[in-house]
Structure 1
Amino acid sequence: MSRVGKKPVTVPAGVTATVDGQNVKIKGQKGELQFRVPDQVSVAHENGAISVQPRSQSKEARAMWGLSRAQVSNLVEGVTKGYEKKLEINGVGYRAAVAGKVLKLSLGYSHDIEYAIPEGITIATPRPVEIIVTGIDKQRVGQVAAEIRDYRGPEPYKGKGVKYAGEFIFRKEGKKK
């Protein structure tokens, strides 16, 4: 049994939720999001909450039950609060700056990296070594943060590169003489 799926998702005041068959649309002050629930799961909107139930007791249906409930919960949280990921840059001369719809990264390569900021995502650089990615879609915010981190991931010897704020980098000892 899914422990996540059992609990209904409450729809707060100021948020409108519509369930049309397998499609769930959530509209709030920050924007509008939608999700198509898998066919193994039924979804209903009643008493100011969205509940999700599996159509059968198969392993796949029970897995989709918890997943669908978590996705709907993420939609509600996204349109009310939004999501944010912080990245830190470590290394001499490594820095980031936002110029219009482009994030410019200097990460020790012979050229600067220009990352086009996707629609629905906001990137801010309060300091040259800090990047804040914000948006209403949890998956897209995480994907953009992962793509930026992939340009120069943190290396284990000196710790140089782009890492998530609060991420622990396992450090290795260098060569011994």
Structure 2
Amino acid sequence: MSRIGKKTIVLPDTVNTIINNSVISVQGPKGELSYKLSPLITIKNVNNTLLLQKVNQSKESQIQYGLSRTLVNNMVIGVSQGFNKKLEIQGVGYRAQTDGNNLILNVGYSHPVIINPPEQIFIKVENNTNIIVSGINKELVGQIAAKIRQIRPPEPYKGKGIRYVEEIVKRKVGKAGK
């Protein structure tokens, strides 16, 4: 049984929702997002709270119930507060910089790696080694952060590479000398 789907979504005062058939649009101070719900789920706006309900008791509707509630809740949080992921670069000579909205990474390759994020995502660099990816869409923020990390993941021997701020990289012992 989904316990997540049963929770109501409380809307802040600055957030407006428009429900049109199975499409929900959420507008807030940071922007606007919309999502098409599954036909197995219905949604109602009652006294500044959103309630999701299953159409029937099938397994597929049970699966969509919790997922839809989480996606709509992330939309509400995104348009009111926004999301961000923080990455850090470790390694001698590794650095990052921005050129407009593009991110330029120098991480040990013979050429700089340029990342052009979507228009909803903003990338900020602090101290040449800290990268902050922010936006209103949680999925896109996480996807762009993972794409940046994938360019040079942290290696286990020296720990060089791009990692999330709180990420713990298990270190390995190097060669045993005679």
Q: Counterparts of 1:118 and 1:93 in 2: how far apart (Å)?
A: 28
SS across alignment from 1:146: helix
Q: Kindly state the Cα deviation for residue 101 of structure 1 after the two structures are TM-superposed.
A: 2.4
The equivalent of 1:92 in structure 2 is 92
1:31 counterpart = 2:59: no
Give the equivalent residue in structure 2 for 1:175. 175
User: What is the alpha-carbon distance in structure 2 between the residues aligned to residue 39 and residue 163 of structure 1?
Assistant: 39
SS state at 2:14 partner: coil
Structure 1 residue identity aligned to 2:119: E
2:78 is the alignment partner of 1:81: no
The Cα shift of 1:36 comes to 0.8
How far off its partner does 1:54 sit?
1.4
AA at the equivalent of 1:93: G
Mapping of 1:16-165 within 5 angstroms?
Answer: 16-165=16-165
Q: CA deviation at 1:44?
A: 1.4
Match of 1:2 in 2: 2
CA deviations over 1:20-78 (Å, ceiling 9, x no partner): 11111000011001111112211111221111111122222111100000001000000
Structure 2 unaligned spans of 5+ = none
- Give the TM-score taking structure 2 as reference length: 0.97
What is the rounded CA distance, in whole Å, between the counterparts of 1:75 and 1:163 in structure 2? Answer: 26
Q: Give the Å deviation of 1:165.
A: 0.7
Deviation at 1:117, TM superposition (A): 2.4
Name the amino acid aligned to 1:143: Q
Structure 1 residue 143: Cα displacement: 0.6
The one-letter amino acid paired with 2:14 is G
1:61, 1:160 → 2: CA distance?
45
CA RMSD of aligned residues (A): 0.9
Amino acid at match of 1:157: Y
Q: TM-score w.r.t. structure 1 length?
A: 0.97
CA distance in 1, matches of 2:10, 2:31: 18
